[in-house]
Every structure is written in C-alpha cells, then in structure tokens.
C-alpha cells in the first residue's frame, strides 16, 4: 500500500475551521504534518472544534485572524515563520459565499466577497513569498478555487469572478517565481457536500439540477478534496507547478447551462 509520510513538515492553512477543512486537517495530521491553523474564529471556539475533531494539541498551533486584514495576515505569517523557520507549504483555503444575485447585491457586499476570495489570497502570497525569498526556501503555495471559475453560474458573480482571477493569478505566480523554486498550484473542487457549496446547493434549485446533470449525478465529498491537498503536499507532487487539480467528478469538462 502506498502511504504518504509528511513527518517533519509544517503546513500553514487559512480557513482552517471550515467544514471542508476538517478532513484536510485530519488527514494532514494523520500523515505526520504539524499544522499552523488560521481562521477568523476565536481561539476558544477553535480549541473546542479541534477537540471535537480529535486533533492532538501537540500537532498544531492556532492563530485567530481576519485574513482580509492584510496587516493582521502579515503578522500571522511572520509569527509562523519565527516559530517554524523551515515552513515550506501554505494552503490558501479560506473562501466561500452564499447566493448573491448581481442587481440585489450591494456594492459593499460584492466587494467584500471578491476581497475575501481573491485579494486576501493575493496578500497571503505576498507575505509568504517575502519569507521564502529571504530564507531561500523553495516553497509550495496551494490555493482552493472552484469549478465555477471556469464554468460560470447565475447568482454567484462576485465569487465566480474572484475564483477565475485567483486561478489566473496562481499561474502567473508559478511562472514569475519558477526561477526561485517556488511552486503555486490550485485545487478546484466541484460541488462539495459541505461548506458554502452546500449552502448554494440547498438554496438554488437551478444549481441542484445543474450539479445533477454535469457531475455524474454526484457531489464531491470533503474527504476527496482533502486527498487532493495531501497529494499536493507530498513528495509525489514535487514536479507539479502552475496546475489546477480538479476533483470534480468531471463537472468542469463542459458548460451545459
């Protein structure tokens, strides 16, 4: 049996307390990694959540931070590298939305959704790259996107546009930093039966029908997304760069809307 051993590796994850993040955290810890978990939830709430997930306290550290605040995010990254100087893998997993039809979504809400799903990830890259370049670490940055980045859907225009921008940004960074050894990849799930993806599925009949038709009638499990991240964090993915890995049951093959 092929096993993945991440012993000795430290990995930073944003959006670490979400529903899809749970199996990611579980599987990365099971593989031996030490995790730096970042989320907007308070330390008290996170401590209880991680206890419920049965994550050993010795396997992680936790930072409560709003990643849309670039100053706070930069401080978390700096503190993480002080504690884990060899930190070489970062997962920009934070993101999500509910339904937000264009004409009924205020300018402020539209901007907020886009900022959370795109600019917060850009700022994460900026803070992390500074550390990797200074320390000469050939790091690996992995973003979470969505198949709606390439298959537009109604009622989520800010989110879909932000994810499209994020995927292009990741490829640009993979090219721009290739000479440093830094790699940038993306995991782009289909409709996942958890988190904001579940919220949109439950609220939008047209979206449910769309998922039924284009995804072999199935929805991705959070565990399948976690498996994609574990693979990309492992030595098995050492030669993968600038790619979009799509565990989506084939939903991204074509747009049938």
Locus of tokens 């990995």? 11
Token pair for residue 139? 């790091």
User: Which of 62, 147, 159, 177 is labelled catalytic?
Assistant: 159
Q: Alpha helix (H) ranges present in the chain?
A: 21-30, 43-52, 70-83, 107-114, 120-135, 157-176, 195-203, 205-214, 222-233
- Catalytic-residue membership of 159: yes
Q: 65 near 120, Cβ under 8 Å?
A: no
R_g (Cα) of the chain, nearest Å: 17
In the sheet with 60-64, reading across from the earlier edge strand, the strands are: 60-64, 34-39, 10-14, 89-92, 140-144, 183-187, 244-245
**How far is it, in rounded angstroms, from Cα 116 to Cα 122?**
10
Q: Point out the residues that are catalytic.
A: 159
């Amino acid at each position: 049996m092929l096993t993945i051993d991440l012993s000795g590796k430290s990995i930073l994850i944003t959006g670490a307390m979400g529903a899809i993040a749970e199996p990611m955290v579980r599987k990365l810890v099971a593989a031996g990694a030490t995790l730096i978990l970042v989320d907007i939830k308070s330390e008290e709430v996170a401590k209880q959540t991680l206890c419920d997930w049965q994550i050993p306290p010795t396997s992680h550290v936790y930072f409560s931070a709003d990643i849309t605040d670039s100053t706070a995010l930069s401080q978390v990254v700096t503190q993480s590298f002080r504690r884990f100087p060899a930190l070489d893998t970062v997962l920009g997993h934070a993101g999500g939305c509910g339904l937000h039809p264009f004409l009924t979504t205020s300018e402020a809400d539209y901007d907020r959704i886009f900022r959370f799903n795109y600019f917060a990830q850009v700022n994460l890259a900026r803070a992390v790259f500074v550390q990797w370049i200074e320390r000469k670490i050939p790091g690996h940055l992995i973003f979470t996107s969505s198949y709606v980045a390439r298959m537009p859907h109604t009622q989520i225009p800010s989110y879909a546009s932000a994810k499209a921008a994020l995927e292009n940004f990741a490829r640009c960074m993979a090219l721009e930093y290739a000479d440093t050894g830094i790699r940038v990849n993306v995991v782009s799930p289909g409709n996942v039966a958890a988190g904001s993806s579940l919220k949109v599925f439950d609220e939008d009949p047209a979206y449910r029908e769309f998922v039924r038709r284009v995804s072999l009638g199935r929805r991705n499990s959070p565990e399948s997304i976690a498996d994609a991240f574990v693979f990309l964090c492992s030595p098995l993915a050492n030669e993968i760069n600038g790619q979009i890995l799509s565990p989506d049951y084939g939903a991204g093959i074509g747009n049938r809307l």
